[in-house]
Amino acid sequence: MNRRGALYQILAVVVVAAALWFGLGGNRPTLLIGVIGPLTGSASPYGLAHRNGVRMALDQINAAGGVLGQQLEAVFADDANDKVIAAEEARSMIYSRGVLAILGSITSDNTMNIQRICEKAEVPMLTAVSTNPFITRVNFRYSFRCLSDDDIQAGALARYTIDTLRLRRVAILHDNNKYGSQGARTYQAVAQRLGQSIVTSEGFDSGDTNFQAPLARIRQLAPDGLLIWGLARESALAARQAREMGIPATIFGGDGMAPTNFLDLAGPAAEGVVLTYPFNPLRGGDKTRAFLEAYRQRFTTEADSFAAHAYDATMLLAEAIKLAGPDPRRVRDALASFGAYEGVTGRGGFDPTGNETRPVELARVKDGRFQPLPVGGAQ
Does the structure show a pLDDT above 80 at 379?
no
Domains 30-148+283-348 and 151-277+362-378 share a fold: yes
Please count the other Cβ atoms lying within 10 Å of the Cβ belonging to residue 169. 15
Q: What is the mean pLDDT of residues 57-76?
A: 98
Q: What is the mean pLDDT of residues 10-20?
A: 40
Q: What is the mean pLDDT of residues 296-320?
A: 96
- pLDDT tens digits, one per residue of 340-358: 999 999 999 999 999 999 8
| Percent helix, strand and coil across the chain, each to the nearest 5 | 50, 20, 30
Which pLDDT score, from 0 to 100, does residue 138 have? 76
What are the two backbone dihedrals, phi and then psi, of residue 180, each rounded to the nearest 5 degrees? Answer: -70, -45
Does the structure show a pLDDT above 90 at 283?
no
Does the structure show a pLDDT above 90 at 236?
yes
**Cα–Cα distance between 151 and 158 in angstroms, integer?**
11
Buried-state track 22-49, b at ≥16 Cβ within 10 A, e below 16: eeeeeeeeebbbbbbbbbeebbbbbbbb
> What long-range pairs does 185-192 form, CB within 8 A, spacing at least 24?
186/133, 186/150, 186/151, 186/154, 186/155, 187/154, 187/157, 187/158, 187/227, 187/229, 190/154, 190/155, 190/158, 190/159, 191/158, 191/161, 191/162
Q: What is the mean pLDDT of residues 292-315?
A: 96
Does the structure show a pLDDT above 90 at 214?
yes
Domain boundaries in the chain? 30-148+283-348, 151-277+362-378
Does the structure show a pLDDT above 80 at 22?
no
- pLDDT tens digits, one per residue of 121-137: 999 999 999 999 999 98
Report the share of the chain in percent with pLDDT over 90.
Answer: 85
Q: Which of 24-33, 34-43, 100-109, 279-288 has the lowest mean pLDDT?
A: 24-33
Does the structure show a pLDDT above 70 at 28?
no
**Cα–Cα distance between 148 and 190 in angstroms, integer?**
16
> Residue 131: CA atoms inside 13 Å, Cβ hemisphere, count?
29
**Cα–Cα distance between 160 and 164 in angstroms, integer?**
5
- pLDDT tens digits, one per residue of 173-203: 999 998 999 999 999 999 999 999 999 999 9
Q: Binning pLDDT at 50, 70 and 90, where does residue 378 land?
A: very low
The gap from C-alpha 355 to its chain's centroid, in whole angstroms, comes to 13
Helix (H) / strand (E) element for 15: namely: helix 3-21
Q: What is the mean pLDDT of residues 47-57?
A: 97
Q: Binning pLDDT at 50, 70 and 90, where does residue 260 land?
A: confident
Residue 248 contacts by C-beta under 8 Å, 6 or more apart in sequence? none
Q: What is the mean pLDDT of residues 241-257?
A: 97
Q: Is the Cβ–Cβ distance between 173 and 238 less than 8 Å?
A: yes
CATH numeric code, 30-148+283-348: 3.40.50.2300
Q: Is the Cβ–Cβ distance between 231 and 201 less than 8 Å?
A: no
Mean pLDDT score of the chain = 91
CATH numeric code, 151-277+362-378: 3.40.50.2300
Q: Binning pLDDT at 50, 70 and 90, where does residue 279 land?
A: very high
**Cα–Cα distance between 312 and 229 in angstroms, integer?**
25
Kindly report the pTM of this predicted structure: 0.87
Q: Which of 15-29, 38-52, 125-139, 202-216 has the lowest mean pLDDT?
A: 15-29
Helical spans, DSSP H, in 98-149: 108-121
Does the structure show a pLDDT above 80 at 25?
no
Which pLDDT score, from 0 to 100, does residue 375 have? 54
Which pLDDT score, from 0 to 100, does residue 104 have? 94
Q: Which of 13-17, 32-36, 93-97, 374-378 has the lowest mean pLDDT?
A: 13-17
Q: Binning pLDDT at 50, 70 and 90, where does residue 284 land?
A: confident
Q: Binning pLDDT at 50, 70 and 90, where does residue 20 land?
A: very low
Please count the other Cβ atoms lying within 10 Å of the Cβ belonging to residue 284. 19
Q: Is the Cβ–Cβ distance between 257 and 204 less than 8 Å?
A: no
The gap from C-alpha 72 to its chain's centroid, in whole angstroms, comes to 21
Q: Is 102 exposed, middle or buried (0-12, 13-18, 19+ CB in 10 A)?
A: buried
> Residue 259: CA atoms inside 13 Å, Cβ hemisphere, count?
25
- pLDDT tens digits, one per residue of 150-173: 999 999 999 999 999 999 999 999
DSSP of 228-250, one letter per residue? EES-HHHHHHHHHHHHHTT--SE
The span from the first CA to the last CA of the chain, in angstroms, equals 81
The gap from C-alpha 350 to its chain's centroid, in whole angstroms, comes to 15
